[in-house]
Structure 1
Amino acid sequence: MNTFDCVIVGAGPAGLSAGLTLGRARRYIAVMDNGTNRNRVTQQSHGYLTRDGITPQAFKEAGVNELKNYPSVSYFHTTVTGIRKEFGGERMIVRTMDDETFYTEKVILATGVQEEFPFPSVREFYGKSLFSCPYCDGWEMKDQPLIIIADKEEHTMHMARLIYNWSSDLIVATNGVELSKDCAQELKERKIIIKTEPIKSLNGHNGYLEKIEFKTGETISRSGGFVVPSFYRPNQFAKHLGCEIDEDGTVATDGAGRTTSKNVYIAGETEKSASSSLIISAADGQKAAVSVNTDITLERF
């Protein structure tokens, strides 16, 4: 019977970090992942100490290989299709698309989030010349002619102020949204061009941006830039398991990965339904794992 102390759903930095910590704690762990991690489209991952510039796939493979050093950890390449509590809530049943059933005392949700963009063609360039995180990719884009695509004023201003540190050759495109007089003046003072016309298309080759065409017929040349996506959870596990979710979409926790639903823990981007860096997500996974191990210890001692 597939029975574990904890099932970790998702093998991004949060899930892998949690698996490593619990494996070293000699807990019987199943880590399940279907390869849809959000950063798989990027060429390099940055900002993770000792791994700066590593490809997302190499980072993941290194993490999975480290788990193999601990015999109590099992890794499954599969999609979790359902999780439900049974036996008075003291045990959970996890089912996968392979029609396998797993039993576990604890679950860590670490499936991350996915992006939604203002228009579909962004995906053609996302991860190669259009990015969402200046801390991850700003260095590589420094001093280039860039565009910022954001359709909310607060996002536009935040990104413009931040990215100006890497490149002052900026065009802000709001895709049809007018900026307030004060915000527009602030940008103009720094010679940042504002384009409020709706975008018709992004043009380039092999994922590398060359031009932006507006619905007015005007085109401008840009070599890359940053876009502000919205984020969503790819599943409803937290909701279905009875976790309290705040109005802003954040899953309520005790600050150490415990949700309001007994035996359900959460880590990484899944908790806030927002983007995060690799190193912060890994730290979140380690915290959640310590909570799981602490709770198991106190329940069994």
Structure 2
Amino acid sequence: MIVGAGAMGCLFGARLAQAGYELMLVDVWREHIDAINSAGLKIETEQGEQTVKINAGTADAIDFRPDLVIVFTKTLHTAAALDSVCHLFDDRTCLLTLQNGLGNVDTAAEFIPIERVMHGVTNYPSDLQGPGRVSSKGSGYVKIYGADGQLRRENQLIAEAFSKAGFNCVLDPDVERAIWEKVAFNAALNSLTAVTGMTVGEVGASASGPLLAQRIVAETGLVARSKNIAMDEDAVWQSVGKAFAEHADHKPSMLQDVIHRRKTEIGAINGAIAELALESGIEVPVTETLYHLVRMIEQKLEH
């Protein structure tokens, strides 16, 4: 079962279904669900467009006992989404979060014992083109591991399933570092584009954008190290520089949320970094300022 049938949920659902796995997409967008059920999920790749038959529904309308629940909702919706499907869980159900931001494991552990929770990170590209339609062009990776730091047979089976579905998937005991590195990347680019309305390339070409991005990455690294996580700031900064050069026209999800007047994930990204920094007595002025600026924009859009 995939909870959150957005761009990433649909990509993973389509590939797993093509590999022969029985699954269900769970979402709240009725038009999207109806399109998938009536005409299949359309997925566009470098090889062209494919139609994948897959079942989709709202949480209250399905009766599907999952071995694995993959969560792809925004972090701010995690608790509500899991609460809506937890009646389908039993003592063998495992849960994997591949969401952005921090705090998802703590939320998941409120619904499933921590030894059956996995966390991870992925950078596969995917864009939702409309109801029942996604586009994914390019390669990526998936890194996963047990949220309690232990490797179990279930973890290996999940990694094997992803590999069978064509994903470049590895079991990485140091996955928490990868999660923090993605958080640092998102804290820089998502917040700056959301506040300025600029594309990634425009931020990179501006006089102050790269300086602010680099400071956010450095501040996130300080907080990560205070939690005994050896985040590679240089690797993150190289990824930011690559994004400036190769994804100049890209509008990150947080900017798209602002454009479409939706709540963003700023609380689970810049906000979570700032909160953990406060606990450790670390100052993160740029990261915290961007958090408050995005929250101001959100509050304006609510009215």
Q: Structure 1 length normalisation: TM-score?
A: 0.26
Higher RCO, 1 or 2 (CA under 8 Å, sep at least 6)? 1
Larger radius of gyration: 1
The structure with the largest strand share of the pair is: 1
TM superposition score normalised by structure 2: 0.26
Relative to its length, the structure with more helix (as a share) is 2
